[in-house]
């Protein structure tokens, strides 16, 4: 069985859960800017980060490396405050592109090395498979859990993830 055939069903399940959590993010300005601690992301920025993460998969499959602080100074755009429906739409588009990239990947492509750099210094390296699992799948699960905590702290309903929650059985 190909690696892609193992990853796609897991991807579908995890993204479906992440989408439920993302869709619960409140739109109002006060809660969008809320954060539980001074070192934390504002609610809306964390949601935006989650919405963007699946978009890394096609890039990982297309490139052999990414420098997030290249010499020419071009950097990814920062965060903005977007409405929840905009983030969900972005997430859905990124999921579709990511799913296609995973499904089309050969085992040989998944075994190729990939590097994340910052100012030419390698900060992460591994096979494409390892990077997709760690930097995308696990990263999404991590931030999805953070969003669920933000929801709970603001007394908003937390959707079921791997089973019922106190809000939904």
Concatenating the DSSP letter of every residue in 74-90 gives ----------HHHHHHH
Residue 21 lies in a domain: yes
Q: What is the DSSP string of 46-73?
A: HHHHHHHGGGHHHHHHH-SEEESS-TT-
Instruction: Read off the pTM.
Output: 0.94
Please check whether residue 168 lies inside any domain of the structure: no
pLDDT, position 163: 93
- The total number of structural domains in the chain stands at 1
**Strand blocks (E) in 63-112:** 65-67
Specify if 81 maps to a domain. yes
CB atoms within 10 A of CB 112: 14
pLDDT at res. 66:
93
Positions of E strands within the chain: 65-67, 113-118, 121-127
Domain of residue 10, residue span: 3-153
Q: Give the pLDDT confidence score for residue 136 in this predicted structure.
A: 96
| CA pseudo-torsion sign 153, 155, 160, 165 | positive
Whether residue 169 lies inside any domain: the answer is no
Residue 147 counted as domain residue:
yes
Residue 75 pLDDT: 73
Q: Report the CATH number at residue 56.
A: 1.20.120.450
User: What is the pLDDT, as a whole number, of residue 92?
Assistant: 98
* pLDDT at site 77: 80
Residues of the chain with confidence (pLDDT) below 70: none
Answer whether 19's CB lies under 8 Å from 92's CB.
yes
Is residue 129 one of the residues assigned to a domain? yes
**What is the three-class DSSP state of 18?**
helix
Residue 159 lies in a domain: no
Nearest one of 2, 3, 27, 1 to 130, comparing CA atoms: 3
């Amino acid at each position: 069985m190909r690696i892609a055939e193992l990853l796609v069903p897991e991807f579908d399940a995890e993204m479906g859960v992440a989408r439920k959590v993302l869709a619960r993010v409140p739109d109002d300005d006060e809660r969008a800017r809320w954060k539980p601690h001074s070192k934390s992301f504002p609610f809306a920025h964390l949601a935006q980060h989650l919405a963007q993460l699946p978009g890394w998969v096609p890039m990982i499959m297309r490139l052999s490396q990414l420098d997030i602080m290249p010499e020419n100074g071009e950097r990814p755009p920062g965060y903005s405050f977007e409405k929840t429906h905009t983030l969900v739409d972005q997430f859905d588009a990124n999921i579709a592109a990511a799913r296609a990239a995973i499904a089309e990947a050969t085992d040989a492509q998944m075994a190729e090395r990939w590097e994340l750099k910052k100012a030419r210094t390698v900060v992460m390296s591994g096979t494409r498979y390892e990077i997709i699992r760690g930097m995308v799948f696990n990263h999404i699960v991590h931030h999805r859990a953070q969003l669920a905590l933000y929801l709970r702290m603001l007394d908003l309903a937390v959707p079921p993830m791997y089973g019922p929650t106190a809000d939904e059985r």
